[in-house]
Amino acid sequence: MLEVRGLRAGYGEVDALRGVDLDVGPGELVALVGANGAGKSTLLKCISGLLSPTAGTIRLGGESIAGASPTRIVRLGVAHVPEGRQVFGRLSVADNLLLGAYGRLRQLTRAEVAARIEEVCRTFPALSGR
Q: What is the pLDDT, as a whole number, of residue 42?
A: 95
Contact 20, 56 (CB under 8 A): yes
Is the pLDDT reported for residue 104 higher than 70?
no
Q: How many CA atoms lie within 13 A of 29 on its CB side?
A: 0
Closest CA to 129 of 79, 97, 93, 85: 93
- The CATH number of domain 2-75 is 3.40.50.300: yes
Average pLDDT across the chain, whole number = 87
What are the residue boundaries of the structural domains of the chain, listed by start? 2-75, 93-127
> What average pLDDT does range 108-127 have in this prediction?
88
When pLDDT is cut at 50, 70 and 90, the band that residue 5 belongs to is very high
Give the whole-number percent of the chain exceeding pLDDT 90: 46
Tens of pLDDT, residue by residue over 58-86, are: 999 999 998 899 999 988 888 777 776 66
Rounded-to-integer distance, Cα 123 and Cα 80, Å: 23
Tens of pLDDT, residue by residue over 12-32, are: 989 999 999 999 998 888 889
